[in-house]
Amino acid sequence: MSVAVLTGAGVSAESGVPTFRGAGGLWRQFRAEDLATADAFRRDPRLVWEWYAWRREVVAACQPNAAHRTIAQMEQAAPDFTLVTQNVDGLHERAGSRHVLRLHGSLWTLRCTREGIRVENHEVPLAALPPRCACGALLRPDVVWFGESLELDTVTAALTAARRADLLLVVGTSALVTPAANLPLVTLEHRGRVVEFNVERTWLSDYVDETILGPAAETLPQWWAEYQSSPQGRG
């Protein structure tokens, strides 16, 4: 039995990390094109960095929730398991997930704009804004902005997992951003079962096998407990 999980910002909502869209979402307060594009960074690196530095501070003060912990338990229990996340917050890793395919990068890695070298950095607050590499060039957040390509190896691994999955759990994503949003369709095309966990219906809800409505920190642990005691989960 091959199991995969695709997560989005909603999985971290109950930890206190703001989502992007919807009520209270980051894009309600900030214009995406001012902050999450390479053009925005070229125009005003300090402004973009102030936003990311603020988000690092918010996330550093948050703790993983029961949904993150349940997903980490799934990895231990299922021999063929893949976690794919769109999140950059690092909460899956802090909850104990060992192998995480991070489609959109990480808030905790910085990348040299000249040499492409990546450095892990957990400094909160950052000592200098915008931070610079030892070579003198600007460092940028190692995240994937709109119009940028995702790491090929990561997308390929995610697509392989979606194709192989007998069961894909889609947790807390509006599924509006491609290519991540296509993964559930790949699983469905290959006759895998897709179960969505969200506080509200999304466009995906019309296609998936089941949508479980409610906060993921409640619905996912409950679903997992029931699944484990079912014949399918025991088998």
Tell me which residues touch ligand BJW (CB under 6 A).
8-10, 13-14, 19-22, 25, 36, 86, 88, 104, 143-149, 172-174, 176-179, 197-200, 202, 215-216
Closest-approach residue to ligand BJW (CB) = 10
Nearer to ligand BJW, 122 or 232 (CB): 122
Give the C-alpha separation, 148 to 38, whole Å.
8
The dihedral through the CA atoms of 67, 70, 75, 78 has a sign that is negative
**Active-site hit among 68, 92, 99, 104:** 104
Nearer to ligand BJW, 13 or 95 (CB): 13
- The least distance separating ligand BJW from the CB of residue 235, rounded to whole angstroms, comes to 28
In whole angstroms, give the CA distance from residue 154 to residue 84. 9
CA-to-CA distance for 10 and 103, rounded, in angstroms? 16
Closest approach of ligand BJW to the CB of residue 108, in Å: 12
Q: Is 92 a catalytic residue?
A: no
Q: Least distance to ligand BJW from the beta carbon of 4, Å?
A: 16
Which residue(s) pair with 210 in the sheet?
A: 195
Please enumerate in sequence order all residues whose Cβ is within 8 A of that of 207, keeping only pairs 6 or more positions apart, or say none. Answer: 184, 185, 188, 194
Q: At what angle do helices 216-228 and 66-77 cross, to 10 degrees?
A: 30
User: Taking the complex as a whole, how short is the minimal distance between the CB of residue 83 and ligand BJW, in angstroms?
Assistant: 14
Residue type present at position 231: P
Which residues are annotated as catalytic? 104
